[in-house]
Structure formats: C-alpha cells, structure tokens
Amino acid sequence: MQKEKQKQQATDMLHGPLVGKMIWFALPLAFTSVFQQLFNAADVVVLGQLVSMNAMAAVGNNTPIVSLLVALLVGLALGANVVIAQRLGGGNAKHARRAVHSGIMLAAVIGVLLMLASELLADRLLTALLVPAEVLPDAETYLRIYLLGIPAMALYNFEAAVLRGYGDTKKPLLALIAASLLNIILNLAAVLLLDLGTAGVAAATTLSNFVAALVLWHFLRQDHGVVKVERKLLVFTAQELREIIRIGLPAGIQGALFSLSNLLIQTSINSLGADAMAASSAGFIIEALIYSFTNAIGQTVTTFVGQNFGARNIPRCCRITRVGMIIGACFAIASGTAAVLLDRQLLRLFTAEEAVIALGTVRILYVSGLVLPSGFLEVLSGALRGFGSSMPPAVISLVTICGSRVVWVYNVFDATHDFGMLMLVYPISWALTALLLAFVYEFYRRHLLQTYPRSLFPT
C-alpha cells in the first residue's frame, strides 16, 4: 500500500501531456528556491530594519560569495539528478539506487572539504571584494559563521536532487518552508531578545540549514521506493560516481562562473559607495526570487529530458525543451514586469533610504525587467544536461558570461563609472549565452534524432 502511494507521488515523465505535468513539477521547485532566497532576505531585512545599514551591507557583500558556493553545490547535485532520472527512465532501478547512495556520500565529503577551504579563504575573499573598512568586521563575522552550515547545504541540495530525479519536488519544498520559518523566528530572537546582531543572524541561518537537511534525511530514510536511503548502502559506486561527477562538475563550474563574474561586478559596485551596495543587496534578492522561477523550469527540463533520454525517446525530449521554452518565457515576462511595476514598494521592504531606493529601481529595471534571455539559457542548459552533455554549457558560460562581463567592467564601466551602465552587463551576457546555447542544442537535437529514429516513438 505504501509503495503504491509512493508511486502516485512521483510524476510520470514518460507518458501523457507535458504542459500541466511540467508546471506542477516546476512550481514546488520554484517555491523551494524562493524559500532558499528567503534565508538571505530575512537576514537582510532584519539587519537593515533593526540593526544598521552597515550590517545590511555586510550581508550584501557576502551574497556573491554565498551564491558561488550554492551554485557549485547545486550544479554538482544536478549530476545526481540526471543520473538517477536516466537510470529510472531506462528501467534500471538497481543502478538508480546506487546513484542515490553515491550522491549522498559525495555530498558529505564535498560539504566538509568546501567548508574547510572557504573558512581558510574567508578574509582573502572579502579583501578581494574591496569591502569598505566600516563594513568589513560585520561582513567577516557573518561569513565565517554562515560557512559552518556548508555541509548541511551540500547534503540538502543532493537530497533534493535525489527526490527530483525520482519525480518528487514537494518534499524539498516542505523542508525549506519549515527551515525558513525557523530562520525568521531565530533571526528576530537573536536581534530583539539576545542583541547578538550580525553574529546572531548568521547563526540562525546556519542552524536553519541543518534543520532543512535533517528533514529531507528523515523523508529519505522513511521512503519505501527507489530513493530510500539505507545506511548499509552508503558507499561510493565507481560507475555512478563517475557519471555524477562527469555531469555535475561542469554544471557546478557553470554556476560558479556566473557567481565569479558577479564577484567582479560586486567589486565595481563597492567602488560606488554604501548606497549602491545596499541597493544591490536588496535588488539582488528580488532578482533571485525571479530567477527561482526561470531556474525551476530549467531543472524541470533537465529531469524530464533525463528520464526520456534514458528511455531513448528523443522526440519527446525535443517537445519537452520546446514546452520549457514557452513556460520559461511566460514566467520571466510575468515576474519581471511585476518587479518593475512594484519596484519602490519592494525596495521599501528592505530600507527607507531614498538614495538607496533610487539606485535599486535602476537595478530592477535593467536586470529583473530584462530577465527573458536568462530564462532561455536555463532551459537550453537544462536540456543539454538532461542528455548527459554538461560540458558545452560550462564552456559557453566561460566565454560569454565571464568574458563579456570582464570586458564590460574594464571598458564600459571604467569609462562611465555609472551604476546603470554596470547593470546592463547582466542582460547582455545572458543574451549572448542563450544565442550560443541555441546553436549547440540544435546540433545535439539533429544528431540524436538521426541516431535514434523518430519512427520508434509515438508523436
């Protein structure tokens, strides 16, 4: 009976109409990402409203570093997502279970190593970002405490990837809702009751990350399907580990490249002063909420394409990508338009400073308002990863994201020293990346359709 219930909870990606299934699969993913962003948003709001603008700016200066670490973990976890999806699509439950346990073990090792490395480099990273002296003590305090939660973040992201590969996006959402509510309560208690300031807020976030990981661990231990985690099976399996790393590492590098280029942009923002720093802190959170929806469509396409590629149903993989492009465009246009129309109201949630709000509206207009190309590149990258080809998106990102942003910062921004001109680099780099990914995807599409004849599958 429980096994039957478990089957009903997983989405059937191999048969039937796509639009409804993809939307219902993506929505929990999007809201999961939203609640992940609420961790950072809660920190910024509490510190900005109840402590000081410098405390708020301290969190904002850490955002690119945190984003880099999260992007690396999410990308690596995508490897487990794809491998599990492909094994299940091909009807190979035994190897899917091996991938589940190899992924969990990999998360534990990576989490600890990444925590140790980032703790050692914390002060150097903040120095490289040119964090102002008045903000630096709070920024370093926040970062060092936050980094203690990296093992929990690694475990949560791999656990969520395991469940996504199986077709379950609801449990990761439930875990994040519980952890986000706890984070808000602990933030307020740390500031209002214990007067711990930045350190208390960072500790609350770290503790909440561990709660999210433990909730998903409980779900996986209680599962009765392929994704049930058993301690005796928690070992590395060479074949599955190689595949997870082969797909996940380039995806992690791609995400890290986005974040590394954001570090360069953050350094330029810091050169414009505290108002620009605070405005970007608030604007980034709004953008991250929008990105949650476009990224959710990309992850949905990855999982759906992964299972159907495992079943070698290439025409359905192509339809999944087309549907994903349409849904992603609708999400991007709707959310970007809403952000632009409500820009001042949204920014007032973070600060009452008019100078900060004025700069924040510029960032929202140029970044959130022009987010459509980002939606396209997420879907195209997702489709290629679903095919098991994770390297092309990473290489393209290196050239177009990092390359164009470096050129823009050291030429256009250096010449103008204007906040708005700096923000324009985001949509321009997204558009270049999406264009190149479209050419690569079309090559893969034609090659795979020739390799696996269309006549083998229903239309």
Residue 9 — very low, low, confident or very high, per pLDDT cuts 50/70/90?
Answer: very low
Nearest to 294 by CA among 176, 385, 375: 375
Q: What b-and-e string marks burial along 46-75, b requiring 16 or more CB atoms within 10 Å of the CB?
A: bbbeebebbbbbbbbbbbbbbbbbbbbbbb
Mean pLDDT across 103-113: 91
pLDDT digits (tens, 9 = 90+) for 311-323: 888 999 999 999 9
DSSP secondary structure letter of residue 91: T
Provide the pLDDT confidence category of residue 28 given band limits of 50, 70 and 90: confident
Per-residue pLDDT of 56-96, as tens digits, reads 777 777 777 887 888 888 888 888 888 888 888 777 878 88
More reliable by pLDDT, 155 or 67? 155
- The percent of the chain in helix, strand and coil, each rounded to the nearest 5, is 85, 0, 15
Instruction: Average the pLDDT over 414-419 and give the result.
Output: 90
Q: Give CA–CA dist 11/215, Å, rounded.
A: 21
Mean pLDDT of all residues in 215-229: 82
Q: Residues 332, 409: contact at Cβ < 8 Å? A: no
Nearest Cα neighbor of 115 from 201, 236, 179, 206 is 206
Task: Determine the pLDDT at residue 226.
Answer: 77
Mean pLDDT across 111-140: 85
Q: Which of 378, 452, 390, 388 is nearest to 83 (CA)?
A: 388
With a cut of 70, say whether residue 127 has pLDDT above it: yes
Amino acid type, 54? N
* pLDDT attached to residue 457: 45
Please tell me which residue, 105 or 131, carries the higher pLDDT value: 105
User: Is it the case that residue 1 has pLDDT exceeding 80?
Assistant: no
For residue 453, name the pLDDT band (cuts at 50, 70, 90). Answer: low
pTM of the model: 0.79
The backbone region for 234, taken as left when phi is positive above 0, alpha when psi lies in -120 to 50, beta otherwise, is beta
pLDDT for residue 424 is more than 50: yes
Nearest Cα residue to 74 out of 41, 29, 44: 29
Q: Rounded distance, CA 99 to CA 85, Å? A: 10
* Lookup: tokens for 384: 């290629």
**pLDDT, tens digit (0-9, with 9 covering 90-100), for 373-386:** 999 999 999 999 88
State the CB neighbour count (10 A cutoff) for residue 185: 13
300 pLDDT band (50/70/90 cuts)? very high
Residue 122 has pLDDT above 80, yes or no: yes
Please give the structure tokens belonging to residue 132: 């102002």
Question: Residue 201: phi, psi to the nearest 5?
Answer: -65, -40
